Amino acid sequence: MAAPASAGPVQGPPPGLERRRLRVGVGQVVCWQLVAGVAAGLVGRGWVAELTAGLLAVGVLALTATWRRGLWSYQWLRLAVAYLVRGTQFVAVEGLRGELETGAGTIIRSDGVTVLLETDVPPELQPADLLDEYDGLRIKLLRRPGRAWIALTALRSADRPRDTELELLLTNAVRRLTKRLRRRGLHAEPLGPDELPGLLATLTPKHLTEEWDALLVGGGRFRMYAVPSQLALQQAGAIAVTTASDLEHALVLAPAGAPAAPGAVPQTGRHRSAFVAALP
């Protein structure tokens, strides 16, 4: 994991080239209305009631009307509580192993069935470029120094709840994907069931520990960043870069001490979820 990813353009849609615009949610508006109503009802009922109303209003406004580093204060509070409650050590990739009729190995999880293909797609390709139609599918491009993989997932739904249905969808999608890339002079080779364990062990070290502002991976200290796609491979020391059809940004793993790329947002309090989202 020590070698940096090569510099250059990268695939995947950005989270917003400058800063993500914060949107006021319905819940925030309701909170403000409730506080205003309570405060109005306590006015004239004595200094204790008025002081209580004032403190309540200040507290609610401090949480719901102020922001820092792209998140509202109440969102930071929620992240902090979740971080304190959950354990620091975790397993990144779980699921059963299976096999398609074509011989490709699969990862079977509650959200769907995934197949991995090793590929030589160039950095400028985005996940949406890989298939002309991907309803019911999620496509990820995972890059490591000198190597790249496509993670193709058939998503479980009410219309397709059974593994057999998802495997059929995957088989057809893999066939279309490889044919589409072949026409462009590129290749994508599905990994067999015997190859999957070794690759997953490489992508997901056994010893993973989450800190509030970093991840301890294999004895090193790293950070996950959400980065505009065209700048992702410019992140200093980038070790892993992932883009996906359901992400608005690239997810980048880099040493904690490396300077952040322009537009990069460290996933403070969210390093675990970002790391897991960057995996197959």
Please report, in tens digits, the pLDDT of each residue of the chain (280 residues total): 433 343 333 333 333 333 455 678 787 888 888 888 887 877 778 888 888 888 888 888 888 888 887 788 988 999 999 999 988 888 777 788 999 999 999 999 999 999 999 999 998 888 988 988 878 999 999 999 889 999 999 999 999 999 999 999 999 999 999 999 999 999 999 999 999 989 988 888 777 899 999 999 878 899 999 998 878 878 888 899 999 998 889 999 999 999 988 889 999 999 999 999 999 9
Q: Determine how β-strand 220-227 pairs with β-strand 188-190.
A: unpaired
pTM passes above 0.85: no
